[in-house]
Amino acid sequence: MMNSSVTEFILLGLTQDPVKQKAVFGVFLIFYLATLSGNFLIVVTIKTSRTLGSPMYFFLFYLSFADACFSTTTAPRLIVDALAQKKTISYNECMTQVFAAHFFGCMEILVLILMAFDRYVAICKPLRYTTIMSRHVCSVLVILAWVGSCIHSSAQVFLALRLPFCGPNVIDHYFCDLQPLLKLACMDTYMINLLVVSNSGAICTVSFIILLISYVVILYSLRNHSAEGRRKALSTCTSHFIVVVLFFGPCIFMYTRPPTTFPIDKMVAVFYTIGTPLLNPLIYTLRNVEVKNAMKKLWCSKA
């Protein structure tokens, strides 16, 4: 499978400036630890709380889990490499990183769609909500999301393994992804890039459109609700929508274009690989009274 003379790659990281590298180490270590603790807190709260049993929290549990794993695929390497003299990554590690980043990234996208579907049923079909969104249905939907993510990331790795590398091995990025790898391949990557765009690009764009439509339908149907019901539904949907825009904006920018890389790419990638997993727990907890109350109970009972 591997028709390549390259056994390892060199990751340039975010910057080559030693002073800035120390800043990258400090800032991203704090970001990463905050991401892990925030998402871990949500996972533990939902698992132990009796009040957070609804499907929305069942999906939020998996979103937080995917967030923690997604940032773990890229952040530790970025943090360690900021201080390392030799920023090398082996060919196999690189392929594993491509798989993991796309697996958990896709998982996050699919769970966001499930959360939008859950809000749609809750607001537009309230009387049938409990029968449609039964625990069994939710479990099946999450399993389908895992399977879908696996198919997507396997396709990405399959494309990456097909790339022949015959010399240049410096990746101008802080993690292995198909876009920077395509630049190093010694072959015409036009077709493979088309496949990347039709796989990653289509998933991002189609998912974003589905989510936008679902929120428009939800907002439209809210006009029949009471003022209190409207306020509560709007609050939940707004937090979901903020997360969706923050995640999909950068994703669509990265994966729906010809095989060119821009200097801004790394900053855009930081935004969705490290920024979004950090912001998600903040957005969902600060805007959600039920989660805040459940967390207070959890920590007061521990104290």
Q: Kindly compute the dihedral angle of the four CA atoms of residues 267, 272, 278, 280, in this order, to the nearest 10 degrees.
A: 150
Task: Please name each of the domains of the chain with its CATH number.
Answer: 8-301 (1.20.1070.10)
| Best CA proximity match to 25, nearest among 70, 97, 67, 84 | 84
Name the token pair of 83: 């201080």
Place of tokens 């930081």: 270
Going residue by residue through the chain (303 aa), what tens digit of pLDDT does each one get? 455 678 999 999 999 899 999 999 999 999 999 999 999 999 999 999 888 889 999 999 999 999 999 999 999 999 999 999 889 999 999 999 999 999 999 999 999 999 999 999 998 898 999 999 999 999 999 999 999 999 999 999 999 999 999 888 999 999 999 888 998 998 888 888 888 888 888 889 999 999 999 988 988 888 878 888 788 788 778 887 888 888 898 888 888 887 677 778 898 999 889 999 999 888 877 778 888 888 888 878 765
Q: DSSP state, 273?
A: I
Give the type of residue at 102: H
Place of tokens 């990405």: 156
Q: Kindly compute the dihedral angle of the four CA atoms of residues 13, 14, 18, 19, in this order, to the nearest 10 degrees.
A: -150
- Write down the pTM of the prediction: 0.91
